[in-house]
Structure 1
Amino acid sequence: MKLSVLDQAPISRHSSPEEALQQSLELARWTEELGYHRYWVAEHHNTNGLASSSPEIMMTRIASVTNTIRVGSGGVLLPQYSPYKIAENFKTLAAFFPERIDLGVGRSPGGSQLTRSAITDNMNKSLQDFPRQLADLQGFLHNTLPKDHEFRLVKAGPRVEKIPPMWVLGLSERGASNAAALGTGFVFGHFISPKNGKEALETYRASFTPSVSMTTPQTMICIFVVCADTTEEAEELALTQDKWLLSVGKGADTKVPTLEEVKKKNFTHAELEIMQENRKRCVIGNPQEVKDELLRLSELYQTDEFMIITNIHDIAKKRRSYQLLAEVFDL
């Protein structure tokens, strides 16, 4: 089993963006020492609780303070950008850090319509263009655009030999089909919506077409995990993630709350139901319990790599969670 990390650079209550970004660097070094395979950073905009608004810059910094762990984006929000410019950014990263860079892309609009308009400078870009943009991105990366393509003579530089592998992030069979058609890797976001995972991965494997990106299907599952020495401790630590997810779902404050704050909160019946439903996106428990559940999901999804996201308030306990996982899986 391979374990990897997804980092949104969450900002804890009473902390700052600067501290959150520094903690990302420390977590990357820590998980590399523990034997994790990849360290990916997300892209989020117009939120007070997540510092990961520029994955390429974060990747450069993280790759600079690590040595072997693969560093990637989870993911660049392709519909807002030029495929050509993304290709150049990632080929530049690959030149600095050969064979360590992954390019993960997603279809998300990146926030509200107003936020998206700001990102795109009011350009009228349709999410329906995503498959075409994916094909263009692959073409610019590998210099394989069709001869009749309007940008066939425009080459993305630097012209490195080792091209970062492409991964498509998705929540449904649509995303799986996009990845399969172009022969890229597929990352299923169990941590966002687990209900379509089995069908999406089956669709991806059944439809996969070998390409310049990948010759065989490759999959990952991204999932929330909180692991502690005891089940009781894990459940308590996860309360801060529960409250954070509730706030994110409401479009409210996205800083990770303290445990004291959560314990003082009187939740409504509706809020408790939402929090319980959100637990389906998570694995919480002691090391053996977490291992057993990830192995079960590995069978269900037919995958051998999980990307772990842990958004709890206590940074030391967060590091401990990743450590316990590494130990129980003997990374």
Structure 2
Amino acid sequence: MKLSVLDQSVISKNLNAGITLQNTIKLAKRTEELGYTRFWVAEHHNSNGIAGTSPEILISSVAAQTNRIRIGSGGVLLPQYSPFKIAENFKVLEALYPNRLDLGIGRSPGGSTPTRLALTDGIRKSLNEFPHQVTSLQEYLTDTPPNHEVQAYPFVETRPEIWMLGVSQRGARLAAEKGTAFTYGHFINPISGSIAMKHYQENFQSSSFLTNPQANVCVFVVCAPTQEEAEEMAISQDLWLLAVEKGKDIFILSKEEAKRVKLSEEDKEIVRKNRKRAIIGTPEKVKEELFRLKEYYQTEEFMIITNIYDFEEKLQSYTLLAEAVL
């Protein structure tokens, strides 16, 4: 089994964006030492508790301070941008760090309608154009642009891997049709993921980017020496997810502050439901659950996301998991 990382650069309460982004880099360096395969950073907008708004910039910084681990986006919100400009950004990154780049792309609108319009400078772009944008991006990256008067530079001998991010069969279908790798977001939608993965595997069409299907699954994990410690650490993630769903401030609370929060019965039910998106426990338990999901999804690679308050405990979680699985 392979392990990889998705880090959203979520800000813990009483910290700031600068410390949070430096912690993202520290996590990349540590997980590279531990043998993780990839390290991806996310793209979120208009969220006061998330520092990761520009994956291309953060990718460059992370790649500069690591040596082997693949670095990528999880993912660039392609509907808001020009495929031409994304191709240029990742060609520059590929020239700087050849054979290490993953270009993960998603269909997400990027937030509320005002947020999306701010990203597109007021232009109302249809999400239905996403398949066409993917094709254009592939063409610019392979130096066969749809508009032969415009070429994405610089010329580079290698290309980033393209990964389609999805939480449904629609994303799996498009990844299969376009011949890209596919990431399923179990950490967003743990229901029916095996159907999406099976469709991708069975309908994959080879492309100049990828000759055989390649897939992974992203899941929340909190790992600690004991089940009690893991459950306690996960409380901050529980309340963070609850705040995200309610559209509130989304700074991660400490364990102590999280314990003092009074939850309604409705809130408690949401937390219980969200636990289906996560694996929480000892290294042995997490390993057992990952291997169960391995059979469910028929995949060899998992991307691990851990959004808890204390950075040292976060490092410990990734370390214990690597020691148990890799």
TM-score range, shorter chain: over 0.9
Query: Which aligned pairs between 1:155-234 and structure 2 lie closer than 5 A?
Result: 155-234=151-230
Task: Tell me which residue corresponds to 2:83.
Answer: 83
Task: Tell me which residue corresponds to 2:128.
Answer: 128
Cα distance in structure 2, aligned partners of 1:21 and 1:205: 35
Kindly indicate whether residue 134 of structure 2 is the aligned counterpart of residue 142 of structure 1: no
Cα distance in structure 2, aligned partners of 1:132 and 1:80: 13
CA RMSD of the aligned region, Å? 0.7
Task: Tell me which residue corresponds to 1:238.
Answer: 234
1:184–1:211 Cα contact (<8 Å) kept: yes
**Structure 2 letter corresponding to 1:14:** N
Kindly indicate whether residue 288 of structure 2 is the aligned counterpart of residue 304 of structure 1: no
Cα distance in structure 2, aligned partners of 1:126 and 1:35: 40
Residue ranges of structure 2 left out of the alignment (5+ in a row): none
Task: Tell me which residue corresponds to 1:72.
Answer: 72
Task: Tell me which residue corresponds to 2:290.
Answer: 294
Task: Tell me which residue corresponds to 1:98.
Answer: 98
Cα distance in structure 1, aligned partners of 2:118 and 2:234: 34
Task: Tell me which residue corresponds to 1:260.
Answer: 256
Is the partner of 1:159 in helix, strand or coil?
A: coil
- Runs of 4+ in structure 1 deviating by more than 3 angstroms, as ranges, are none
Cα distance in structure 1, aligned partners of 2:216 and 2:32: 18
Cα distance in structure 1, aligned partners of 2:292 and 2:143: 41
Cα distance in structure 2, aligned partners of 1:227 and 1:8: 18
Cα distance in structure 1, aligned partners of 2:217 and 2:149: 37
Kindly indicate whether residue 12 of structure 2 is the aligned counterpart of residue 4 of structure 1: no
Cα distance in structure 1, aligned partners of 2:43 and 2:190: 20
Is the partner of 1:160 in helix, strand or coil?
A: coil
Cα distance in structure 1, aligned partners of 2:162 and 2:297: 20
Kindly indicate whether residue 279 of structure 2 is the aligned counterpart of residue 283 of structure 1: yes
Is the partner of 1:3 in helix, strand or coil?
A: strand
Is the partner of 2:316 in helix, strand or coil?
A: helix
Cα distance, 1:155 vs structure 2 = 1.5
Q: Among residues 243, 266, 270, which one is paired with 1:270 in the alignment?
A: 266
1:226–1:237 Cα contact (<8 Å) kept: yes
Cα distance, 1:127 vs structure 2 = 0.5
Task: Tell me which residue corresponds to 1:53.
Answer: 53
Cα distance in structure 2, aligned partners of 1:276 and 1:127: 32
Cα distance in structure 2, aligned partners of 1:196 and 1:18: 38
**Structure 1 letter corresponding to 2:86:** I
Residue ranges of structure 1 left out of the alignment (5+ in a row): none
**Structure 1 letter corresponding to 2:178:** L
Is the partner of 2:309 in helix, strand or coil?
A: coil
Aligned-residue identity in percent: 55
Cα distance in structure 2, aligned partners of 1:259 and 1:228: 14
Cα displacement string for residues 32-77 of structure 1 (whole angstroms, at most 9, x for unaligned residues): 1111110000000001111000000000000001011100000000
1:39–1:69 Cα contact (<8 Å) kept: yes
Cα distance, 1:101 vs structure 2 = 0.6
TM-score normalised per structure 2: 0.99
Cα distance in structure 2, aligned partners of 1:157 and 1:194: 39
Is the partner of 2:216 in helix, strand or coil?
A: strand
Task: Tell me which residue corresponds to 2:119.
Answer: 119
Is the partner of 1:224 in helix, strand or coil?
A: strand
Cα distance, 1:132 vs structure 2 = 0.5
Kindly indicate whether residue 311 of structure 2 is the aligned counterpart of residue 324 of structure 1: no
Cα distance in structure 2, aligned partners of 1:122 and 1:195: 35
Cα distance in structure 2, aligned partners of 1:171 and 1:27: 26
Kindly indicate whether residue 315 of structure 2 is the aligned counterpart of residue 314 of structure 1: no
1:9–1:21 Cα contact (<8 Å) kept: yes
Cα distance in structure 2, aligned partners of 1:290 and 1:298: 12
Cα distance in structure 1, aligned partners of 2:138 and 2:277: 31
**Structure 1 letter corresponding to 2:21:** L
Cα distance, 1:317 vs structure 2 = 0.5
Cα distance in structure 2, aligned partners of 1:184 and 1:143: 17
**Structure 2 letter corresponding to 1:158:** P
Is the partner of 1:195 in helix, strand or coil?
A: coil
Cα distance, 1:123 vs structure 2 = 1.1
**Structure 1 letter corresponding to 2:120:** T
1:171–1:196 Cα contact (<8 Å) kept: no
Task: Tell me which residue corresponds to 2:38.
Answer: 38
TM-score normalised per structure 1: 0.97
